[in-house]
Each structure stands twice: as C-alpha cells, then as structure tokens.
A and B are shown apart, each in its own frame.
Chain A
Amino acid sequence: MRFLELDRIDRRWIFLVVGLLVLIPLLWPIGLPIVPTTPVRQYHDAIAAIPDGSTVLMSCDYDPASTPELGPMAETSLRQLWDKRCKIVVTVLWNGGAAVVDQTIEHVADEYRARGVPLKDGVDYVNLGYKSGNEAVMVLMGQGIASAFPRDQHGRVTTQLPIMRNVTDYSSFPLLVNISAGYPGTKEWVQQVNSRFHLPMVSGTTAVSTPEFFPYLQSGQLRGLLGGMAGAAEYEVLRKERGAATSGMDAQSMAHLFIALCIVLGNVVHRTRRKEGASS
C-alpha cells in the first residue's frame, strides 16, 4: 500500500514543503486577520499607563538567532515608548546581542529622525551594551546602574551622558521592558529585580519559552506578555502598525498547519501499519 510508504518518505521532501510554505506567504502575503489576546493588551496597556516623558529601562536579552521573533517586539516597544516621549536606557545580557540590539534601536530612531523628531543618542536613549554576569549584573544594577555599566556600548562614560543624570538605580524607572530569548532573561528579571526591587515589568519572549511565564503573568509579577511572533504581530495590530511580525504570521500559520498535518498523518500511518501487522 503506497500510503504506508509515507513512513519512509525522504525527509528532504518534508524540508522542501516547509521551505515553500514559509517562503510563498512571505513573498505573497495572505493577510490573515490577527486578533490581539489579553496578555498582549496588558503589555500594551502597561506601557501606555506610564507617565509621558519617563525614563524606562529596557533589557534586550537576545542574539541574532532570535531576532526575527524578538526584533519586531523590540521595535514596536521602542515606538510606543518614543511616542510617549520616554527616554530609554537599554541593557543587554546576551553576549552576542549588543550589536544587533544597537542596530534595532538605530533603525527605529532613524524612522523618527526622518519624520523630524530629533532623537539623540545619549540624550533620548542609550544602549549600555553587554555585561557578563547574568543575575549578578541584575543585582549590581540595584546598587547603581552606572556602577554596573560604567561605559556604554560605544565606550562613552555612562555618568557623563545627559540621559543618565537622573538615573541612579531601579527606583529611577517606572517600568522594565524585557525582551528575552532565554537565560538570562525574563525569569531572572522577575526573580532578582521584580521581586526584590519591586520594579514593575512587562516581557516579550520567544514562543517556545512563553508557557513558562504564564504563572508570572497570572500572579501579576508580569504586567503583560508577548509570546513569540504571534504576540509581536498582535502588538503591531494594537499599535496599528504593519511590521515584520504581521508579515511573518502568514508563513508561521502555514508552517504550524503543516506540522499539525505531519503529526496527524504520521500517526494514521503508524496505526494502520500496526493494524496490518496484527491482522497478518
């Protein structure tokens, strides 16, 4: 029976189908409707609730591997914060991520500059760059942001930057926006900073790690949560933007559907084979 031979299909055919299912919707978007879910609304509302012009801490803990998923979240968060004229202090706890985060910040800042909003590095935002030490850095920042990051991503002395004049420790921020791909990330920020220094926080995480953070959302330790590219796309819809996440959702939908089909088909073949084996 040819159907049963699907079990021995060359995996390269599966790879080809996945490749096409991802590629085609990226080239010709379907435009599937995206409805924002409650955790995403909470994320958006938590940022909307902070006073205009506040200085916000944003920790972008990811590297290039997670950028397609987390980059759009970071971009939309930066836009929402800058629309509120907030100043943004960015930190990175992933050693491969500082440069890619810097490019994301500059990309969004350039959009504003092109629209005539004169955002200045060091005045309206600063990327303090990468610091090794994981949770120890988070605790050290509680003693003083500048003592944990004496120089920024570009080697400037942190205490001499205008944006840092009113920044001492966590008490200087009304909110922590964390974009996290894993360890160190959201879990550690909740445990070391939210619980200890009582700094309210929202988080955007990769889809694979999102389920881990639902208990923190339910307990109120997280004020909002973006889960993977779907969360990023819902956030873009709330902000009435059409960014990379919205475009990527069509491709992700097709890939999910195909993987679900693979699970069902694989099991049908497996059960049929077992039944045939039992009857013969």
Chain B
Amino acid sequence: MKREIPLFLTAVIGAIVLAGFFVPHQFISVPADYFQRCAVIVVAFGYALGGANLVRVNLEGIARRHPDWPYKVVLLVGMLVTLVFGLFVDRAKFQDPGTVSIWIYDNIYVPMNSTMFALLAFFIASAAFRAFRVRTAEAALLAVSALIVMIGRVPLGDAIMAGVFDHPGLPDWVRHLRLEPLQQWIMDWPQNAAKRAILIGAAMGVMATGLRVILGIERSYLGGSD
C-alpha cells in the first residue's frame, strides 16, 4: 500500500488536471482548479523542506569539520539572521523600504548575486581562448557562426563592417554580406530550425513521461530503482 496509494493519487489527479485542459464541464474543471491551487501550496512547502534540509546538511558538515566548514557557518548565520529579522522584527512589513530585511537584501544579497553573474564575462573570455578549439568541420561551422553572431549583434561589429561594405563603388548585393544581416539570417533560419526541432522533441518527451507517470509505468519519483 506504501506504493499503491501514491500511484493511485498520481493517476487520478494527473488525469483530472489533464482533462481540465480539454473538458470545460464543472465536474472536471472545479476539481482541476482545486488541485492546481493545491499545487501552489505544495510548492510553498518545498521551501520549508529545502530550508530544513539546508540546515541539516550544513550542520553535519560543521560537526565533521568538513574542509569548507567556515563557509557553512557563514551560510547558517546569514540564514538565521535574515530569518530572525524577517520573522520577529520586520514581520509583515519585511519588504518595505527602511526595514532591516531590505537593508540585508540591498547591501548583501544584491551585490553578491550580481557579482556571481558578472564573473561569467571573465570566465567566458578565458574559456573562449582555451576551450573553443576547431578540430572538425562541424566545430569550424559552429565557431564561424558564433563569431558572426557575436560580432554582428553588437554596434561595434556593424560599425566596422559599414566602413568596409558601404563603399559607394560596391554593388548592392555586397551589402547583404555585412555581419548584421548575416547574423539575422543565422538566427532566423538555421538556429530557428534546430531550436524548433529541440522544442518539439522535448515536448514529445514531456508528454510521454507525463503519460507514463499517470499510467504508473514511470515510478522513479517514488524513490527506489523502479
């Protein structure tokens, strides 16, 4: 029964929510809407579960003197301080200007979050120099396309090309060889075709997986190997 009840619930709820997309009758739409409201509440519980798990994993790391244990202390202290101020000091107004929670958000969370993302530019430049090796014809095609899109999508690339291709002595068709129209062609046609294929393939996969879950064939979400 430990497995049968969750399988039964999944099948019934999945089938009702799926039917809700196609059948507007209240016998289907009312329970479907109710289950979707429940989903929002279940997701919210995920945060509480995630928080509890975070505390457990990091406390274990600190107790075992894991090599990174000082960072775990910082994480837990940060979490605790933010929670305490949010729950007991700022309470319902924790998102209003002037509160400690907003001070923590503006002066700690925002700069750290932005810094992590900004570092990408440096790593991409370094990786581009070392890792973008053209070893095959396909890799060469990828590299050339990447270069055209990368330079063609910024004003500097277009400005450089304008100086070369906009010479009054050149015929009109030469203008089409500029990077901007070339990169637009790559984005509109080869890129779009590949992306469509991926999207359609992924959608078919999602449908198949959904049906397998509803029919009880796919059981990995219950834990265990089957």
Contact = CB atoms under 8 A, between A and B. Distances in A.
B192 interface: yes
Contacts of B133: 266-267, 270
Interface residues of B, number: 55
B164 interface: no
Interface in A24-68: 30, 32-35, 37, 63-68
Contacts of A258: 125
A48 to B, nearest CB: 23
A66 B154 contact: no
B162 to A, nearest CB: 8
A158 interface: no
A132 B47 contact: yes
B33 interface: yes
A176 interface: no
Contacts of B191: 211, 214
A264 B191 CA distance: 22
A14 B122 contact: yes
Nearest to A252: B154
Tell me the dominant secondary structure on chain B's binding face.
helix
A238 interface: no
Chain B CB within 10 A, most for which of A66, A67, A132: A132
Interface of A: 7, 9, 11, 14-15, 17-19, 22, 30, 32-35, 37, 63-68, 96, 98-100, 102, 129, 131-134, 136-137, 139-140, 143, 147-148, 153-155, 196, 207, 211-212, 214-215, 218, 227, 230, 233, 249-250, 252-260, 262-267, 270-271
Interface of B: 21, 33, 36-37, 39-40, 43-44, 46-47, 92-93, 95-96, 102, 105-106, 109-110, 113-114, 116-117, 121-122, 124-126, 128-130, 132-134, 143, 146-147, 150-151, 153-159, 180, 184, 187-188, 191-192, 195-196, 199
For the complex of A and B, the 7 pairs showing the least CB-CB separation, nearest first, are: A253-B156, A65-B117, A32-B155, A133-B40, A262-B129, A136-B39, A253-B154
